[in-house]
Amino acid sequence: MTNTMHRLAWSTARLLPIVALIVAWEIFARSGAVTPFMLPAPSAVAERIYDDALDGDLFINIAVTLYRALIGFAIATVGGVVLGTAMARNTAARWFFDPIISVGFPMPKIAFLPVIILWLGLYDVSKITMVVLDAIFPVVTATIAGIAGVEKELLWSARNMGAKDREMLWQILLPAALPQILTGLQVALPIALIVVVVTEMQMGGYGLGGAMMQASRFANSRGVFAGIVEIAVIGYALVAAMAVLRRRLLAWHQEAQEGAGV
């Protein structure tokens, strides 16, 4: 009982700096030191978000942005794990893709956005393609590292007990590599969000990024700040959800038993 109380008190204490920041923002914005155009008060921003929620725009934009980000992320996950597994298990695949991955990973893929627009047009396909292009690299390298790190003794004993290739992959290699793969996904997810927002800003239309650019063009600073808050909340929620998923999936793993954070 006291434990729960203690925890509750602690999480409340952690909220204090955030509340303080919002109060300071409100006071500063109302003080007249800056114009409401430069920095609208949080109450004004909240009002704007509320209005957007009432007329339904907010939910359409969030749904569209999430759809693009998550479809792209899902494709990057499957593609990245498949490619990474192939590279870890097959010499020819490794020879062919290794230089492409090692040169492509540090490249700012977002520079290819105009090329992708030229090829695939202005709609969802090109946005999702950009997300995949950017998010797949961390998944591939994490999968390779994860599979390479599986203990040899584990492989030997599985072979000894007569495991076939397919069983080895699904029952030994991928589960043992899962912690690293999940770390790769935790890197890829924020990248997917950054990219989806940029593509939406660039191409316009529905979506949180597009709505922000629209507001910016009409010099509607409340709309711009509302967009930032919305995108920040979405980002925070997805990253937190990913951490929960990790704990769930790795409940069997040492990591969970040790109670390590993040």
Q: Does 261 bind another protein (CB under 8 A)?
A: no
Residue 14 binds another protein, judged by CB under 8 A = yes
Going from the C-alpha of 146 to that of each of 16, 50, 88, 183, 205, the distances in angstroms are 39, 45, 9, 10, 39
Q: How far apart are CA 20 and CA 216, in angstroms?
A: 28
Binding residue count for another protein, defined by CB under 8 A: 58
Which residue from 58, 113, 128, 131 is in contact with another protein, where contact means CB under 8 A?
A: 113
Assess 106 for contact with another protein (CB under 8 A). yes
Distance CA 83, CA 97 (A): 9
Nearer to another protein, 54 or 219 (CB): 219
Q: What are the CA-CA distances from residue 23 to residues 18, 92, 164 (Å)?
A: 9, 59, 62
231 is an interface residue for another protein by CB under 8 A: yes
- In the complex with another protein, which residue's Cβ is closer, 142 or 150? 142
Q: Tell me if 187 sits within 8 A of 146, measured CB to CB.
A: no
- Smallest distance from the beta carbon of 112 to another protein, in angstroms? 6
Using the rule CB under 8 A, which residue among 52, 135, 227, 246 binds another protein? 227
Residue 36's SS3 state is coil
**Both tokens of residue 206?**
């529905």
CA distances from 251 to 26, 58, 143, 171, 182 (A): 43, 36, 20, 16, 13
Q: Which of 1, 5, 13, 244 binds another protein (CB under 8 A)?
A: 13
The residue among 41 and 150 lying less far from another protein, judged by its C-beta, is 41
List residues binding another protein (CB under 8 A). Answer: 13-18, 21, 37-38, 95-100, 103, 106-115, 117-119, 190, 193-198, 201-202, 208-209, 212-213, 215-216, 219, 221, 224-225, 227-228, 231-232, 234-236, 238-240
